[in-house]
Structure 1
Amino acid sequence: MSDFDEDTAFLGQTGPYFWTTFFLLNTVFISTGFNGLYMVFIGSTPKHRCLIPDVNLTEEWRSAIIPAKLVDGQIVESQCSRYSLGIVRNLSENGLVPGKDVNLTTLSQEPCLDGWTYSKEIYQSNIVTEWDLVCDDQWKVPFASSSLFVGYLLGSLISGQLSDRFGRKKVVFVSLAAQCVSVLLQSFSHSWRMFCLMFLFVGASQISLYISAFVLGTELLSKTMRVIFTTLGAFLFYCIGYMTLPWIAFAIREWRPLLAVLATTSIIYFPLWWLIPESPRWLLTQGRRDEAEDIVRDAAQKNKVQAPGIIFKEVEVSILSDAKKYTIVDVLRSRNIRCITLMCLVLWMAINIGYFGLSLNTSNLSGDPFMNCFLSATSELPAYVVSTWLLKKCPRRPLLSVFLLIGGGVLLLIQVIPETLQSVALALEMTGKFGFTMAFGIVYIYTAELYPTVIRNVGMGLCSSAARVGSITAPYVIYLGSYNKVLPYVVMGSLTMTSCVVNFFLPETLNKDLPETIDQMQQCKGFCSRPKKGKCVENGTNGSVSLH
């Protein structure tokens, strides 16, 4: 039986059809960059202090009612407590002067019973200022971020099945509509709980959109265009959306209008329904040969080539539609697949903790948060370009290890940078982001090459779920910084170094044939392998990244 690429070889490797499809699909990824990290701004905690109600206090006592202490040579006011208002009011009425007649350290303190007052220097409003997510309730901010990534996890688990059942194109546009509606509804949230609930739907729709569009692109494009799409196109256009986000947030400083604007940008993509075709590969698996041939003939017309009279034979379509359906059980059935899968899970989880940890931490860096976010996004551009070039020539395993070492090493180094050298710390953080972005791009391709065609979709979905667990954890890793600033860097750096060690036990895939069946998979190295007659058998993979 010939494969799809052989049957459609007459289309060529490039041409108007492939380039048009390439750019139209990639524009969809811009919306995922818009909506993926707006929590950096709407969940940022501005400077705040206890609200002092309008009571009879002298100016001296109104200025002194907030406790202060010396931190790194600077006077820092408390953000979560004040001197007891009743006591201060009595002292003020008796004409006593703070610091002169009264020793402030002897006064009792109380929490911010009347709420907080927030600086509007950067943000006019966000979820922190609206629902007072500070002090005892500051844990609600990372929880809200994690609810987005829980949605990612749910979307990763169901999008594959929905795509296989209803078609790639339908899932892409349904997910696009769901993303638009859920972000818009989130902008009308009347409580933190409703905000988190809507964030689940935002995450599920967004990852479903990304995965289904990614798979649709790999199945529609030729081998040459597919490699560019999966290694550069999808990531690069996501980055364009990510880079645009801080400028939109800079222009709109209130969180509700910001989300409404981000939601409505998705509307411009719906006319693409009439321009982007369904996957002919999927149609063939459903036995819909005529529809698949119509799409291929239209592609031939656009590429100005002659299509043969019969493109797909009936017997081939019948065999394809009756092929065995593999499940997650098959990914865990043998010792070798289990070992490779477990190591890939560790890699995906650690890389996502580092990537999203650094992405979400940009609002905590010194300097302008909008510029920091833009620089963080910009650092990804060269990473995607360089990784695409390196993947054509370099072995995957040592390449991934190098960038894991860069990312993890930088994280461990940042903690020793003095407070006075903030520019150096920022440069190191951007270097770490570059390393994790490189690792992020490489692990996608590496994993796709490790799994055989029959379980590649299932294996990638499982790894994507592990990545979601990592991204769910990332906000809490950043939250550790509220106790000790160096803790997030130590945790993320240590996890990255551990994953670098794990990576050494995976087989190499450069210039190897892409495995089609489970028996053709390579054997993992070291303790996982069970070599026969003293040596390990290697069935290779190549640089193709087809997910069909």
Structure 2
Amino acid sequence: MKDYEEAITFLGEWGHFQRLIFIVLSLSYFPNGSTFLSMIFVGDTTHHHCRVPSLNSSYGGLGYNLSIPTEELKGETILSCCRRYTEQKDSDSVYSNDTEGCVDGWVFSKDRYVSTIVTEWNLVCDDAWKAPFTLTVYFFGMLVGSFCSGIFSDRYGRKITFFSAKTLQTLLSLLLAFSISWEMFCVVYFVFGVMYASASSCFVLGSELLIKSARETFGILGIGLAHSTGFAVLPLFAYLIRDWRTLQIGLSLIGFLYLPFIWFIPESPRWLITQGRLQEAEAIIRAAAKRNGITPPENIFRLEHRAITEFENKCGQDKFTWLDLIKTVNMQNITVINITIWTTITLTFYGLSFNTSNLDGDPYRNCLISAATEYVGFTFIWLTARYAPRRIILSSFLLLGGAFLLLIQLVPEELSGLTVTLAMTGRLVVTGASIFVNVCSMEFFPTVVRNMGLGVCDMAGRVGSAASPYIAHTGTYNKTLPFILMGTMSLFSGCLSLLLPETKGEKLPEVISQVKPLQWCSHKKRFSEPNGLDEDVQQHLRDEQTSTIQ
């Protein structure tokens, strides 16, 4: 829709209207960083051991050393988390050498938290799988939301989809605090994930409201830094509020404070035009011109623009299916490599986020440092993306991230500070890759299947994020294992990304035949304009003008 860009150039780049859109839509990601990642603390597992009714109920009370066997965890000798000695009522010895499970429940340490969902619903030992599964349920909700939000957004509009999802997301975040069981928590969390993914339609809305020169800044700095700020607020809330229900309520209030700002956002004029609602689209542009202090032209959207839009709709994606993503060898290569990269990045990004509590040192400080690395990562990727080649940036970030994570296994246990430093540095570069991969993937897929291609990548990413809680959970048994798994996958994906064709400064491919081969298979080649497209548009314009005159 290049004529749309030309039609609204009179608005300028950074007037009052554009700044309002940039700020309000970016701020929508502020609550996301705190409410979603709150599971770092809400779902954390504290030290625990079996309850022995005859002994003091406080954690680690006197007598527990005789009634509970010991075990070694992360080089530390502790009371067994899931076994206790069997009591003997008909013998001089109180306890036998045989052990049994925690039939009377558990005693949890309250040194760090007053309560979490783990301590409230005893998600330990045989039920330990439920804690990471809670996050898996959420990510499957995001997968459903990613699939459905595109359909609703295209059919009913960007604003209504965003407004509805954001409102429901905030209400569901509050409802989580009133869950009466783990099963109810999972159901609400699943729907919360659906709304979370649907609310991301604000990225599309912002990209369509802002002009081309502002979109990269909005997508990387605006959204990225707002999310990081929300993440940075999380450990401050969690440090002050140690009860998970109260913490969840406090974080939900942030979302309620944001909701009134949604009314300042208009519908996407681009979407309105595709629906034939030119007058509404023109009214929004005129209101934007008034806010910027600019007098708009008398006729903003010409007949030619409407004809081109109708032609694009007529020749759109209804001719293509998901099978076209593997129709040719080049498409197969692009699709498979992008799916692998997206899965790795999301698994590593969320795995490192949820593994924060397993790192040595204070978890609140580690979480704050982790949020700070996002600031550096997003800013650095925004600067380098303006000058460096796409494939070099993506591969470098993945290779560096993998290298830093694999180095952790070589660090002696007594140098815990170095372990945290390497983990946070790895997260920094992976954070940059997580935001940059969106830009790259959009340029790899041709226009005719671009939405489907990005949809497949996003769903692959959700699968990776669904597996991330289990990767992080392995850190409770071996603190270096998560880093080995994530580091290896990052190195592998970094090597794969070197095979991708370069897209910086190149025209976006329009049709499948213009998709470039892998870098090692063929020499670099620029593609030409798609055959017959311009002639078809011109003919469609002539037919439209003729019918109008008649």
CA contact (8 A) 1:160 1:457 kept: no
- State TM-score, norm by structure 1: 0.90
d(CA) in 1 for partners of 2:491, 2:90: 53
For 2:501 and 2:112, how far apart are their aligned partners in 1?
49
The answer as to whether partners of 2:355 and 2:475 remain within 8 angstroms in 1 is no
> CA offsets per residue over residues 184-240 of structure 1, 9 Å max, x none?
222222221221111111111112112x00010100001221121012111111111
TM-aligned CA deviation for residue 32 of structure 1: 1.3
Structure 2 residue 30 is the aligned partner of structure 1 residue 42: no
Shift of 1:538: 3.3
Name the CA distance, whole Å, in 2 between partners of 1:387 and 1:487.
28
1:11 maps to which residue? 11
Matched, 1:302 2:304: no
Determine if the alignment matches structure 1 residue 247 to structure 2 residue 236. yes
Matched, 1:168 2:158: yes
Equivalent pair of 1:14/1:224 in contact (CA under 8 Å)? no
* Partner residue in 1 for 2:79: 77
The match for 1:220 is: 209
CA 89–448 in structure 1, closer or farther in 2 if over 3 Å, else same: farther
Q: Which amino acid aligns with 2:473?
A: Y
Q: State the distance in 2 between where 1:540 and 1:396 align.
A: 21
Aligned length: 521
Once residues 378 and 12 of structure 1 are traced to their aligned partners in structure 2, the CA distance between those partners, rounded to angstroms, is 33
Give the corresponding residue for 1:24: 24
Structure 1's 70 and 284: CA in aligned 2 closer, same or farther, altered over 3 A? closer
- Cα distance change on mapping 1:487 and 1:297 into 2, 3 Å: same
Structure 2 residue aligned with 1:402: 396
Residues 382, 51 of structure 1: alpha-carbon distance in 2 compared, 3 angstrom cutoff: same
Q: 145, 157, 161: which one pairs with 1:155?
A: 145
Give the equivalent residue in structure 2 for 1:324: 315
Residue 544 (structure 1) aligns with: none
Asked if 1:281 is matched to 2:280, the reply is no
What's the offset of the Cα at 1:519? 4.1
Mapped partners of 2:373, 2:2: distance in 1: 43
Distance 1:357 1:82 in 2: 32
Q: Which residue number in structure 2 is paired with residue 440 of structure 1?
A: 434
Query: 1:86–1:331: structure 2 CA closer, same or farther, 3 Å change rule?
Result: same
Work out whether residues 55 and 63 of structure 2, in 8 Å CA contact, stay in contact via their aligned partners in 1.
no
Q: Distance in 1 between matches of 2:251 and 2:31?
A: 8
1:539 matches 2:533: no
Looking at structure 2, the residues matched to 258 and 182 of structure 1 have their Cα atoms a distance apart, in angstroms, of 14
Is the Cα–Cα contact under 8 Å of residues 401 and 430 in structure 2 kept in the other structure? yes
1:80 and 1:182 map into 2 onto residues whose CA distance is 34
User: What is the rounded CA distance, in whole Å, between the counterparts of 1:51 and 1:356 in structure 2?
Assistant: 34
Aligned match of 1:235: 224
* Candidates 179, 186, 190, aligned match of 1:196: 186
Residue 314 of structure 2 aligns with an amino acid whose one-letter code is A
Contact 2:74/2:479, CA 8 A, preserved across alignment: no
Cα RMSD (Å) of the superposition? 2.3
CA offsets 1:386-413 (integer angstroms, 9 cap, x no match): 1000000000111111111111111111
Whole-Å separation in 2 of the counterparts to 1:353 and 1:393: 28
Query: CA shift at 1:50, angstroms?
Result: 0.9
Report the more deviating stretch, 65-74 or 306-315: 65-74
Q: CA deviation at 1:515?
A: 3.1
Residue identity (%)? 40
Q: Retained in 2: the 8 A contact 1:509–1:540?
A: no
> C-alpha separation between the residues in 2 aligned to 1:56 and 1:160?
56
Residue identity opposite 1:182 in structure 2: L
Once the two structures are TM-superposed, the CA of residue 350 in structure 1 deviates from its matched residue by 0.5
Residue 91 of structure 1 aligns to a residue in which SS? coil
CA deviations 1:67-116 (Å, max 9, x no partner) are 12466775322111111123698525xxxxxxxxxxx8x71111111000
Once the two structures are overlaid, the 10-residue window that deviates more, 7-16 or 512-521, is 512-521
2:469 matches 1:475: yes
Separation in structure 2 between the aligned mates of residue 40 and residue 480 of structure 1, nearest angstrom: 15
Any idea what SS the aligned residue of 1:278 has?
A: coil
1:400–1:443 Cα contact (<8 Å) kept? yes
CA contact (8 A) 1:512 1:540 kept: no
Alignment CA distance shift 1:88-1:317 (3 Å)? farther
1:115 aligned residue (91, 94, 105): 105
Contact kept in structure 1, 2:4 and 2:305, CA below 8 Å? no
Q: What residue identity is the alignment partner of 1:166?
A: Y
| Structure 1 position 63, deviation (Å) | 4.1
One-letter amino acid matched to 2:136? S
| Shift in alpha-carbon separation, 1:428–1:89, aligned structure 2, 3 A | farther
Residues 270-279 or 258-267, more deviating: 258-267
2:277 aligned partner, one-letter code: R
1:191 counterpart letter in structure 2: S
In the alignment, is the contact (CA less than 8 A) between 1:163 and 1:171 conserved in 2? Answer: yes
Residue range with higher mean Cα deviation, 178-187 or 20-29: 178-187
